[in-house]
């Protein structure tokens, strides 16, 4: 299950979380969209994999402008995904298999179709105060609303402000224009959201993931700067006290909780996740997934900088450990391209690339997360046209990149490498039509290699990528040194190799990962016992995309 009374390291260090992007996981009724009953039907597969908890992306009512992260009712279920009875069945069946459920709470913003926002649009003062509305100039019009309150940019492109002529006000939306930011300075808002947590706790939910939760506290005054304004609201002025109140009033202290932290700092994440502060049990940070951003820009490509990647891992692992914080360990989620295609070579070394990455992170200090299909080695899309994409961010940036001077071909190349849809293609269950995901027309096309990269094929192969994941999960559950040991990164002869050690009570594990297609020198392993590796035969050097771990007992 997701909760125990053990210490933080023992409690969190042996858990493995599996993320389900519900829309793409398993369709039980043939409408082309995954659903709750589809998850229930696949629970034996998940139990066999060995995971402890399922993080399920939002299945609440939503107009789906941002694939469910635009919520219009926090305490109901989108009919497309099922009913409350379906959820309760899933909860019972998961619990019977020792698997907990983690719900994904989008508390920074609501959909503009939420009843609260609709009442605000009608001029209700109570609900106007639920959002970040700012008066426009007295002479503003729909055709000429004047300048917005700040120059802040939406993370999906364009201004973060939208003018409402009927109110003569602007509202803040850090994401899509249909995702209006809530005003967490309003105690009524905080009370509403704590009530949402209590509602789902009453329905058996025992873990929560909080979307972009470090953005909830905005500054008291509206200021512009020379860039996009994110420094004003990232890890904002009251974020820690608001989280403490939410945890207390929502009745979730001691549960497994994880916060998605946008552009955050180690210092803040120590405080978010150190149990002394009663905020969250662990944090997602994304700095390591920006090492292939040219000049720090998501929509500008470069080869991954492995030296920078090693530095990021070292800082976050060693400093979070020293400060009593706790990392969520991951390469992939519903917002990221498939990592084996991104950081490896899936054309020539698919198996090695697909097993190198989990070896690197699953043996670190923290709680590993597996994104659906990652355990199969699913790759990025083979789309050839922008018309095949569904993601609002990708479609926006295809246009923006051309406005910035890129040709359509260049813009498509960038979107193809960066799109969130790269990780959202449906789960491949078998080699039948649509990979066994649906009997209907899938909402998003599958990647074409599903005929060989699918669950049925890999469950029958003891040497598959999935079988390798099972071994990693089993090691975490078996070895206290992996669950709770200290971590120390090692200098290596090659800048393409990441190596670290875990130590506890005289036991030592050394991990070496070659992030290149070339042979690299290996650190000495004399006297060590092979713990796991993605090549069959031992060698005195590291082969292309090789990952290997040794243990000294």
179 neighbors 70 (Cβ within 8 angstroms) = yes
Report the DSSP beta bridge partners of residue 167: none
Which structure tokens are listed for 279?
């905020």
Distance CA 225, CA 152 (A): 8
Sequence spans of domains, the chain: 115-181, 384-418, 486-552
Confidence band, pLDDT 50/70/90 cuts, at residue 145: very high
Report the DSSP beta bridge partners of residue 532: 549
Q: Which residues have a Cβ under 8 Å from the Cβ of 436 and sit 6 or more positions away?
A: 428, 429, 430, 454, 456
DSSP tag of 423: G
| Whole-number percent of the chain with pLDDT over 90 | 96
Residue 226: left if φ>0, alpha if ψ -120 to 50, beta else—which one?
Answer: alpha
Confidence band, pLDDT 50/70/90 cuts, at residue 15: very high
Mean pLDDT of 330-351: 97
Confidence band, pLDDT 50/70/90 cuts, at residue 67: confident
Give pLDDT, residue 2: 43
Regarding the domain with residue range 115-181, which homologous superfamily does it belong to in the CATH classification? Oligo-1,6-glucosidase; Domain 2 (3.90.400.10)
Per DSSP (E only), the strands in 61-212 are 100-105, 109-111, 133-135, 161-164, 169-172, 179-181, 207-210
Per-residue pLDDT reduced to its tens digit, 177-203: 999 999 999 999 999 999 999 999 999
Angle between helices 187-201 and 239-250 (to 10 degrees): 40
Per-residue pLDDT reduced to its tens digit, 101-118: 999 999 999 999 999 999
Per-residue pLDDT reduced to its tens digit, 402-432: 999 999 999 999 999 999 999 999 999 999 9
Which structure tokens are listed for 434?
């649509």
- Mean residue pLDDT of the chain comes to 96
Angle between helices 266-273 and 306-323 (to 10 degrees): 40
Q: Tell me the three state secondary structure of residue 486.
A: strand
Per DSSP, the chain holds a count of helices (H) and strands (E) of 18, 20
- Would you please indicate which residues are annotated as catalytic (active-site) residues? 211, 260
Q: Which residues have a Cβ under 8 Å from the Cβ of 202 and sit 6 or more positions away?
A: none
pLDDT of residue 4 exceeding 70: no
What DSSP element (H or E) covers 188?
helix 187-201
Q: Which residues have a Cβ under 8 Å from the Cβ of 296 and sit 6 or more positions away?
A: 290
Report the DSSP beta bridge partners of residue 210: 105, 259
Q: Tell me the three state secondary structure of residue 326.
A: coil
pLDDT of residue 169 exceeding 60: yes
Give pLDDT, residue 8: 73
Give pLDDT, residue 394: 95
By DSSP bridging, strand 256-260 and strand 207-210 are: parallel
Burial of 122 (0-12, 13-18, 19+ CB in 10 A): exposed
DSSP tag of 33: S
Distance CA 343, CA 504 (A): 30
Per-residue pLDDT reduced to its tens digit, 280-317: 999 999 999 999 999 999 999 999 999 999 999 999 99
Q: Tell me the three state secondary structure of residue 370.
A: strand
Angle between helices 408-418 and 392-403 (to 10 degrees): 150
Mean pLDDT of 208-214: 98
146 neighbors 161 (Cβ within 8 angstroms) = no
Helix, strand, coil content of the chain in percent (nearest 5): 35, 15, 45
Q: What are the C-alpha distances in Å from 461 to residues 61, 221, 250, 256?
A: 40, 59, 45, 33
Give pLDDT, residue 9: 75
Regarding the domain with residue range 486-552, which homologous superfamily does it belong to in the CATH classification? Golgi alpha-mannosidase II (2.60.40.1180)
Give pLDDT, residue 221: 95
């Amino acid at each position: 299950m997701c909760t125990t009374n053990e210490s933080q390291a023992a409690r969190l260090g042996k858990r493995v979380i599996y993320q389900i992007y519900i829309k793409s996981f398993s369709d039980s009724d043939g409408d082309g969209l995954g659903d709750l009953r589809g998850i229930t039907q696949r629970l034996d597969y998940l139990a066999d994999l060995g995971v402890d908890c399922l993080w399920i992306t939002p299945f609440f009512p939503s107009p789906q402008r941002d694939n469910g992260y635009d919520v219009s009712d926090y305490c109901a279920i989108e009919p497309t995904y099922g009913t409350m009875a379906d959820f309760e069945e899933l909860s019972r069946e998961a619990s019977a298999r020792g698997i907990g459920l983690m719900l994904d709470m989008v508390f920074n913003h609501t959909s503009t179709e939420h009843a609260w926002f609709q009442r605000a649009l009608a001029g209700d003062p109570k609900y106007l105060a639920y959002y970040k509305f700012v008066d426009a100039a007295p002479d503003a019009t729909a055709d000429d609303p004047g300048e917005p309150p700040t120059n802040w940019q939406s993370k999906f492109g364009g201004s973060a402000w939208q003018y409402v002529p009927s109110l003569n006000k602007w509202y803040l939306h850090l994401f899509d224009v249909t995702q209006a930011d809530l005003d967490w300075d309003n105690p009524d808002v905080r009370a509403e959201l704590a009530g949402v947590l209590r509602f789902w706790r009453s329905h058996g939910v025992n873990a929560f993931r909080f979307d972009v939760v470090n953005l909830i506290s905005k500054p008291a005054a509206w200021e512009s700067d020379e860039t996009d304004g994110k420094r004003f609201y990232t890890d904002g002025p009251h974020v820690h006290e608001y989280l403490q109140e939410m945890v207390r009033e929502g009745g979730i202290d001691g549960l497994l909780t994880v916060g998605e932290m946008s552009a955050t700092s180690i210092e803040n994440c120590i405080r978010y996740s150190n149990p002394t502060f009663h905020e969250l049990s662990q944090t997602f940070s994304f700095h390591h997934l920006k090492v292939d951003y040219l000049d720090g820009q998501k929509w500008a490509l470069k080869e991954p900088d492995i030296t920078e990647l090693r530095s990021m891992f070292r800082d976050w692992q060693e400093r979070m450990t020293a400060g009593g914080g706790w990392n969520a360990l991951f390469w992939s989620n519903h917002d990221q391209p498939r990592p084996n295609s991104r950081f490896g070579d899936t054309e020539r070394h698919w198996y090695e690339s697909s097993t190198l990455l989990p070896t690197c992170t699953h043996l670190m200090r923290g709680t590993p997360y597996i994104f659906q299909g990652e355990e199969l080695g699913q790759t990025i899309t083979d789309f050839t046209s922008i018309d095949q994409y569904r993601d609002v961010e990708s479609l926006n940036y295809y246009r923006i990149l051309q406005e910035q001077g890129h040709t359509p071909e260049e813009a498509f190349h960038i979107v193809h490498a960066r799109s969130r849809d790269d990780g959202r293609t449906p789960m491949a269950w078998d080699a039948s039509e649509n990979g066994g995901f649906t009997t209907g027309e899938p909402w998003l096309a599958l990647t074409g290699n599903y005929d060989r990269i699918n669950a049925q094929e890999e469950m029958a192969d003891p040497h598959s990528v999935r079988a390798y994941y099972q071994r990693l999960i089993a090691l975490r559950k078996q070895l206290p040194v992996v669950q709770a040991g200290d971590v120390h990164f090692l200098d290596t002869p090659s800048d393409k190799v990441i190596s670290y050690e875990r130590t506890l009570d005289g036991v030592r594990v050394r991990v070496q990962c070659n992030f290149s297609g070339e042979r690299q020198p290996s650190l000495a392993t004399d006297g060590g016992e092979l713990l796991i590796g993605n090549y069959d035969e031992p060698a005195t050097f590291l082969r292309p995309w090789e990952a290997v771990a040794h243990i000294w007992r």
